[in-house]
Amino acid sequence: MGVSPVANSGFWRGKRVLVTGHTGFKGSWLTLWLARMGAQVTGVALKAESQSLFVAADIKALCQDITLDIRDLNAVKNAVRQAEPDIVFHLAAQALVRESYRQPVDTSSTNIVGTVNVLEALRGCPSVKSVLCITTDKVYHNREWPWPYRESDALGGHDIYSASKAACELMVSAYRSSFFAEKGISLVTARAGNVIGGGDWSADRLIPDAIRAWSHGDTVDIRRPDAVRPWQHVLDCLNGYLIYAEHLSHRQDCPQSLNFGPDAAGMATVREVISIASGIFDGARCRFHEQPEGPHEAGLLMLDPSLARQSLGVHNHWRLEQTLNRTMLWYKRYYAGESARALCEADIAELEAAWRP
């Protein structure tokens, strides 16, 4: 298979990059990495949660930070004019399945109308050359079958979150054919599996829920232990996004959508993942609920990342066990008093060291 390439700092040095959703988990890691490579980053998002990587690692100091709601078209247009970006990563979203059951209108308006607003603002921006809209592995019409989904498979969504992100894919396609293609602007979507890494404190996510419980000496309740997901380290995922953008700058034949996720070895049940994690975190306790209450969530979801491997040469550097070890060590060291920024920098340096051109 060979060693996968890592984002090229020479490409990113001096690039003007707009990141929507930079206060979120993936957005914070991405902003830090871009700044480390010398990019001029502008971030637009809602105000960060008080317990977040954005706050813990002082990501605000690394970028031009603009607080706005992407459902406000004029605010988005003003931010785009201010940033004059070369490249855009659109991550801003309501990204939690269970929250979409509680707030279906807010989820739909943020994910669909917010994406349209970003695209509408960008089509009037003369500097922009490429746009990556980040969706999810949940955009596929999930048949609960034992085969991983490919980019050509049908889109759909049982829950509001999944349907709203599938709708984003359709809007991106429409904006590409209606406006962006004729301007020579690359507009693509990236669909990623579940990401794990230090600094995630989001609600209703497996590792953050476990860390919250274990750091207080409590037992974590696992609601769907036999659900299967594609798990990967956040940096492996972001590396795929960055290399995708690099290729868009000089290639006309890049796929319009790509899956980013692990190979078959990274597909694992919630039970398997939490069992490995609990073995690393001292005093960790779990309680499994075999027949959980609550709204529907997919039981079996797998991605086929072969097209990204064939077209970009990328695949994940870290196996599931390495990903979990690295993640749990990040939290243990953070709670022992180490700097969140330094811990993130160390993980990035480790990934960069995995490949040398």
Cα dihedral 308, 314, 316, 317 in deg (nearest 10): 180
Answer whether 177's CB lies under 8 Å from 318's CB: no
120/44 Cα distance (integer angstroms): 15
Answer whether 318's CB lies under 8 Å from 326's CB: yes
Q: Quick one: which of 86, 94, 92 has its CA closest to 117? A: 92
CB atoms within 10 A of CB 178: 11
Kind and range of the H or E run holding 196: strand 194-196
Q: Quick one: which of 70, 196, 158 has its CA closest to 122? A: 70
Q: Catalytic residue numbers?
A: 161
105/100 Cα distance (integer angstroms): 8
Answer whether 154's CB lies under 8 Å from 98's CB: no
Answer whether 181's CB lies under 8 Å from 123's CB: no
**Is residue 50 classed exposed, middle or buried when 0-12, 13-18 and 19+ CB atoms within 10 A define those classes?**
exposed
342/265 Cα distance (integer angstroms): 30
Answer whether 98's CB lies under 8 Å from 294's CB: yes
147 φ, ψ (degrees, to nearest 5) = -115, 140
Sign of the C-alpha dihedral computed for residues 23, 26, 27 and 33 taken in this order: positive
